[in-house]
Structure 1
């Protein structure tokens, strides 16, 4: 089992201490550094090059999104999860554009944080159901041509079932939940998703959700 090297960036010392203890209880996690403000986060990210940066959205000296701008050249190797008490829809889109790979609310259960770190470390995005919904809703409101795009919907050779699966992915359903919804096996859902990814030219669920909204492929759930 390979070790996931983690940098914690948060201005609250008690939160950092508790988070370090929590993470270091996991055999595959190693906390390599802590930053108390945005400037320190930038310097440590550049020097330590962690696998995961757990970044508080609101910090002194440099806010979370400003930190991302400063370390943009590192984001291929340093994957960032934004820790936040709350986040606005526009900020979600901006954060994604700046390279954020995941969002975790500070009130989330421990298991959610641990799973998000392993998921993002594995090269995927961690966007829970609520976050995906926010992305979708924000795309609706921030893309003036959305209705025109929907009117010019491109089928991409998608089957009716594949369109149904796309709608559930956009709504934030997991493979298990999609399988239950349509009374299918998870393997069948994975097969559908592979075909959908190939037809749309996307490589993950987040890209699929964005492409589906842009091309008007997502129906109501």
Structure 2
């Protein structure tokens, strides 16, 4: 059984990753950390695990690697889309994935790190580069500007009430927009929408750019 410590400040991505891994018989999520100060106690408590942690936690990567080695654990780092993986490999992590990684590739990379492989990344990808995503581009172009704002806030972890407040409307209007978004993306709920967005680079990049602007607005 491959024990996994999952550390990420983005709740939606953390929940989606946990859902993907939990469907596999050989993975067990033993701890989830949303804040950086929780990762080291978890590593000390659950030794011999695969630590999947995101750069969004703003941790010192060499320090995480050192603590993982002391706990007989391995490190799989989640980089933001477009980031180069080379510096992270130089810091000692066992593998690097990007937020737009597909479910099958996530499972493959996690298994390879768990069995002791080093310098693990998505097969065929150069450091920091993701393949062209025609599906994501098509969906991005089909969504209206208001729908894109809603998608952006959802992957930031916002609930309907907060989205309505930020966009100056009501929760019922947001629900109506979500039905249209679900139809255009072929998903059935907000978690599936978040996963769909994260795993399609062109759509994810657009949503993240919009989300950063919206989250900076009071």
What are the superposed Cα offsets for residues 134-156 of structure 1, whole Å, 9 maximum, x if unpaired?
8xxxxxxxxxxxxxxxxxxxxxx
Are 2:81 and 2:128, in contact at CA under 8 Å, matched by a contact in 1? no
Aligned residue among 19, 22, 32 for 1:21: 19
Give the TM-score, by structure 2 length: 0.52
Dislocated runs of 4+, deviation >6 Å: none
Partner of 2:42: 44
Aligned residue among 75, 85, 108 for 2:69: 75
Displacement of 1:21 in angstroms is 1.8
Unaligned runs of 5+ in 1: 135-221
Give the TM-score, by structure 1 length: 0.51
Aligned residue among 104, 124, 139 for 2:97: 104
Partner of 1:212: none
Are 1:85 and 1:106, in contact at CA under 8 Å, matched by a contact in 2? yes
Displacement of 1:52 in angstroms is 0.6
Displacement of 1:93 in angstroms is 3.5
Partner of 2:87: 94
Displacement of 1:71 in angstroms is 5.0
SS at match of 2:56: coil
Are 1:84 and 1:105, in contact at CA under 8 Å, matched by a contact in 2? yes
Displacement of 1:50 in angstroms is 4.4
Aligned residue among 1, 5, 21 for 2:3: 5
Are 1:45 and 1:71, in contact at CA under 8 Å, matched by a contact in 2? no
Displacement of 1:23 in angstroms is 1.0
Alignment RMSD? 2.2
Aligned residue among 121, 124, 127 for 2:117: 124
Partners in 2 of 1:68 and 1:38 — Cα distance? 14
Partners in 1 of 2:76 and 2:22 — Cα distance? 17
Partner of 2:107: 114
Displacement of 1:38 in angstroms is 1.5
Partners in 2 of 1:133 and 1:20 — Cα distance? 23
